[in-house]
Structure 1
Amino acid sequence: MEPATLTLAGILLLALITVESGGAFLLRVTTGGKPSNDLQKNWYRAGHAHAAVLLVLALAILPYTDAFDLPAWATWLARSGVPVAAILMPAGFFLGVLGEDPQKPGPAAVLVPIGAAVLTAGLLAAGIGAIAAGQA
């Protein structure tokens, strides 16, 4: 594996520790230790789930990116799209419902669809890169 790929893998593995601490926070929310309304509970769950799944997905895709014969920008997008989405989408879920008793998501919720767009672009680049490498 390329050194940059291994470095990113290490960063992603360490980022999973934040998901673990997010799980502890979610446990406090669901057991009443952290007062939250239903909107917050649902969005916190979604943020936690997206963070975990997207980080694991990023780790699964990462080794393949070294075999891609794409332009540098497309390889960068294939390697970085899912990890960036793993930051943006959960951030939107958590930050979008900050406050004492929000009745609707706040402005930070825009990070969710932005993250989804980045996720789509990264998966598209990785999928095309994998197919092209397999056909070569």
Structure 2
Amino acid sequence: MEAYELLPIVALFALVTVEFGGHALLQFLTTRQGTLTPLRERSFRAGHAHAGVLLILSLVYFLYLPQAEFSSSTDWLFGVLLLVGVLAQSGGFFVHLALGSEGRASLGTHLTRAGAVLIAAALIALGVGLVQSL
């Protein structure tokens, strides 16, 4: 099985977890069974939104990946790099929610930044591959 066949399936199932996260956030906001500080609410919303948008981006990425004509191992490398970046960037917001404090960087902040770098690297690699395949 090729990376562009399996990894979109992983992304689709990951979207279900994002949907559940939206439900959890809605429960917090509407039932008041738990309290979220403004920092935690912002982090929860940001992590949830980034995960959803970036997973949709990954589905588009996997449509174009075969057109770059990379080797199978390179497809896997860049596909996994993208998904790890998505997990790191969105997950960093949740780590910051748990460990961070207002106005200070935390492990979550660094994780979010590292995820952004990984996503950028995967996107640039695909862009270069697409240009080279013209």
| Distance in structure 2 (CA, Å) of the matches to 1:130 and 1:55 | 21
TM-score, normalised relative to structure 2: 0.84
1:90 to partner: Cα distance: 1.3
Which amino acid letter does the alignment assign opposite residue 107 of structure 1?
L
Q: How does 1:71-86 map to 2 (within 5 A)?
A: 74-86=74-86
Distance 2:36 2:127 in 1: 39
CA contact (8 A) 1:97 1:106 kept: no
Structure 2: distance between partners of 1:21 and 1:122: 27
1:19 aligns with 2:32: no
Aligned letter for 2:18?
V
Greater fraction of residues in helix: 2
* Aligned counterparts, 1:2-41, within 5 A: 3-31=2-30, 32-41=32-41
How much does 1:23 deviate?
0.4
Aligned to 1:63: 63
Q: One-letter code of the match for 1:48?
A: H
Task: Tell me, in whole angstroms, the C-alpha distance in 2 between the residues paired with 1:65 and 1:10.
Answer: 15
Secondary structure class of the residue paired with 1:96: helix
Report the Cα distance in structure 2 between the residues aligned to 1:14 and 1:61, rounded to whole angstroms.
16
Q: How many residues align?
A: 132
Q: How large is the Cα RMSD of the aligned pairs?
A: 2.2
Amino acid at match of 1:49: A
The residue aligned with 1:48 is 48
For structure 2, which runs of at least 5 residues remain unmatched after alignment? none
Distance in 2 (CA, whole Å) between partners of 1:82 and 1:127 is 13
Q: Deviations over 1:50-76 (max 9, x none)?
A: 100111100111022122234666544
Match of 1:90 in 2: 90
Q: Give unmatched runs, 5+ long, in structure 1.
A: none
Aligned partner letter, 1:18: T
